[in-house]
């Protein structure tokens, strides 16, 4: 009978952020697949976990999947961890998890730290709708192209960036999104030199320029979504609802409008009722 694959979140800095359940799982499984066995060995040593480690990273994951799946099929419970945080979130592991699912192996998440969510929770920008974009392209031409695709998105954007590219990245964002766009800057979350600030992209460029320490460590950027003129937004909603109400009930039309535009269903429903009364 095949065993289980546990996807285990580990601390992103402060070691106390590991959960009791994560420790127990890491102790109980037969083997731990880790992004970097050297990094993970230090974590295991701290918590007196003696489970064997095997490397599973972006350079060997494809070639190692068959071996790992066979061990699971043979009944060995396995844990998957990354260097820090939740596996698969801009970290390796997707291919292994997909292969496990395809082979009928139960995949069990063990939740915990995630830099993207931690940053979002602390910077004071809207969190009801957001998209995680991971790392932007390293080449400026490709990065600018990607940012231009995102500039009109109205949801909050979460982006990881390497310290040696952070200044160029934020400058490109200011150029594409506008210097007045709000941004949350979260660096070294849960670590000794944790920095969490909210400002405009233009101000962030100057902040990073004037303090070279801000170009070090793990960095998360949380960018406010594009604002839409209310009158234009209302006009588009009215046009959409008017067309949908020709074929659908108020309830169905408002639900579909909410799905398509991202506005709250209650708002779409109320407006649909108003349009119906005017008809």
Task: From 79, 97, 113, give the residue that closes a domain.
Answer: 113
Domain count, the chain: 3
pLDDT classification of 279: cutoffs 50, 70, 90: low
249 has pLDDT over 80: yes
* Statement to judge: residues 8 and 109 lie in one domain: yes
For 174-227, write each residue's pLDDT tens digit. Answer: 999 999 999 999 999 999 999 999 999 999 999 999 999 999 999 999 999 998
pLDDT classification of 228: cutoffs 50, 70, 90: low
Q: How far apart are CA 173 and CA 154, in angstroms?
A: 15
* Statement to judge: residues 12 and 85 lie in one domain: yes
* Statement to judge: residues 22 and 84 lie in one domain: yes
Q: What is the CATH number of the domain that holds 100?
A: 3.40.1010.10
* Statement to judge: residues 87 and 157 lie in one domain: no
* Statement to judge: residues 78 and 55 lie in one domain: yes
* Statement to judge: residues 39 and 136 lie in one domain: no
Residues 250-272 have a mean pLDDT of 88
* Statement to judge: residues 105 and 161 lie in one domain: no
Range of the domain at 212: 119-223
Please write down the long-range contacts of 238-243, taking CB distance under 8 Å and 24 or more positions apart: 238/271, 238/275, 241/268, 241/271, 241/272, 241/275, 242/275
**What residues have CB less than 8 Å from 1, skipping those under 6 apart?**
75
For 142-158, write each residue's pLDDT tens digit. Answer: 999 999 999 999 999 99
Q: What is the CATH number of the domain that holds 133?
A: 3.30.950.10
Half-sphere exposure of 83 (CA within 13 A, CB side): 10
Task: From 113, 141, 173, give the residue that closes a domain.
Answer: 113
* Statement to judge: residues 97 and 159 lie in one domain: no
* Statement to judge: residues 15 and 89 lie in one domain: yes
Question: Which of residues 247 and 235 earns the better pLDDT score?
Answer: 247
Residues 59-72 have a mean pLDDT of 91
The predicted structure's pLDDT at residue 149: 94
For 9-64, write each residue's pLDDT tens digit. Answer: 999 999 999 999 999 999 999 999 999 999 999 999 999 999 999 999 888 888 89
The predicted structure's pLDDT at residue 229: 54
Task: From 113, 137, 168, give the residue that closes a domain.
Answer: 113
């Amino acid at each position: 009978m095949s065993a289980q694959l546990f996807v285990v979140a580990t601390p992103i800095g402060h070691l106390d952020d590991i959960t009791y359940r994560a420790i127990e799982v890491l102790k109980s499984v037969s083997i731990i697949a880790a992004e970097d066995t050297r990094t993970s060995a230090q974590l295991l040593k701290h918590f007196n976990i003696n489970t064997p480690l095997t490397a599973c990273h972006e350079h060997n994951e494809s070639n190692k999947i068959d071996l790992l799946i066979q061990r699971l099929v043979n009944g060995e419970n396995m844990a998957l961890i990354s260097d820090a945080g939740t596996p698969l979130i801009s970290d390796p592991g997707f291919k292994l998890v997909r292969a496990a699912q395809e082979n009928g192996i139960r995949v069990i998440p063990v939740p915990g730290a995630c830099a993207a969510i931690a940053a979002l929770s602390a910077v004071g920008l809207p969190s009801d709708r957001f998209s995680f974009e991971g790392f932007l392209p390293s080449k400026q031409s490709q990065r600018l192209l990607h940012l231009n695709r995102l500039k009109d998105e109205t949801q909050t954007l979460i982006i990881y960036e390497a310290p040696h590219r952070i200044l160029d990245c934020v400058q490109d964002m200011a150029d594409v999104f506008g210097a007045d766009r709000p941004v949350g800057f979260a660096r070294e979350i849960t670590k000794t030199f944790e920095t969490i600030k909210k400002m405009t992209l233009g101000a962030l460029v100057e902040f990073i320029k004037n303090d070279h320490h801000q170009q070090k460590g793990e960095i998360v950027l949380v960018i406010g979504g594009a604002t839409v003129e209310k009158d234009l937004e209302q006009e588009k909603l009215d046009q959409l609802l008017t067309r949908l109400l020709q074929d659908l009930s108020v309830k169905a039309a408002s639900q579909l409008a909410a799905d398509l535009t991202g506005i709250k269903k209650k708002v779409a429903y109320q407006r649909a009722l108003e349009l119906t009364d005017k008809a």
